[in-house]
Structure 1
Amino acid sequence: MNHLASNAGYGEAADELAVQYEGVTFEEVHREVLHLLPGEPGAVLDIGAGTGRDAAALAALGHRVVAAEPTAELRRIGQRLHADRDIRWVDDALPAPASLGAGGERFDLILLTAVWMHLAEEERPLAMDALAGLLAPTGRVFISLRHGPVPTGRRMFDVSADETVELARERGLDVLHRTERLDLHNRSGVRWSILAFQRSRVRPNSVMV
């Protein structure tokens, strides 16, 4: 069991990571699922928002964006880099976000970009519960899941796409998209699963008549 915090190592490397994160575009990172973005401006939640690259791009499209980032150093960089965008920054994280949705807010789109593999096995069901609870009735979730070597000082787990799909299905989230891709930064041995889910019209364990 890896007992490091889920965001271990990110504060110390915030400046270097900011260059990496901002060195690729929202469109490059999410190219496989761009066609699944909401067609009209809505409420968007970016969990593990980092420096706010994705949050800023979505705000520019007219969405009401909440950026949840637990690493203070990254949050400060994001607020500075994207000060011209209407983004509400919060200090919160999975598996049990304390402030997100507390006022009954539900989201049309939730992004988890390079986040899910930081959650331990016992945390992932709780996190999927939280995601399902934060989704609007027809809301969607985009998850990019990293596979490969773990950088020194970080906490990551070997999480399969199959497990993630099953956790989502059990909570009434249907798969809209599933692909694999190579790493945009060409890191040796690193690959990604790109997943998109939508709340099912038929809830789990419902009786079909």
Structure 2
Amino acid sequence: MSLYRKLHCTRNYIHANLFLSFILRAVAVIVKDTMLDRHWGREIIQQVDVSEMLSHKAAFGCRAAQVMMQYCVLANHFWFFGEAIYLYSVLISSVLVDKNKYLPYLFLGWGTPLLFVIPWSVMKLLKENKECWGANENMNFWWIIRFPILFASLINFLIFIRILGVIFSKLRASHQRRYPDYKVRQVTFIIFCYHL
């Protein structure tokens, strides 16, 4: 599909990155769960000395998988946030709509999660360096990666409400003119598909 020039646009690039983030998120969760099960699942029952099992090599691999999983989850949420911003900019404002404005979306989707995963990893390494970093003894460290997800979800919800308001006002206006606006139909379909 990349051979078709008509498909080369910011909207499709954002869609492709969102779908890639979904794939990476699923793979990262599977890898993390597999490493947890392999290193901390059955072996804990078999071994008497747990500290021997928590060798640096095994712990590093499991912790790296945990960090990658957290990064992929954040990237997935921020790409969804980028989708919402793009839809908002197409319908309501003219911010970041130009074809040359794909770079800010790349930084938002793949770069912003690093701003939260790196401090979380450092805090886990310095303050809660136990097992596979799956337990959260101090919830303040957990909020380093959860707050951005909640914030992005809240902004997505507010954008969704604003877009619904615009769609309903355009629908009312198009019924008065007796011809439908194709953009309104297209956006209504997109919103319907996203929330299935």
TM-score by length of 1: 0.19
| Structure with the largest fraction of helix | 2
TM-score by length of 2: 0.19
| Structure with the largest fraction of strand | 1
Higher CA-based Rg? 2
Q: Could you say which structure has the greater relative contact order, defined with CA pairs below 8 angstroms and 6 or more residues apart?
A: 2
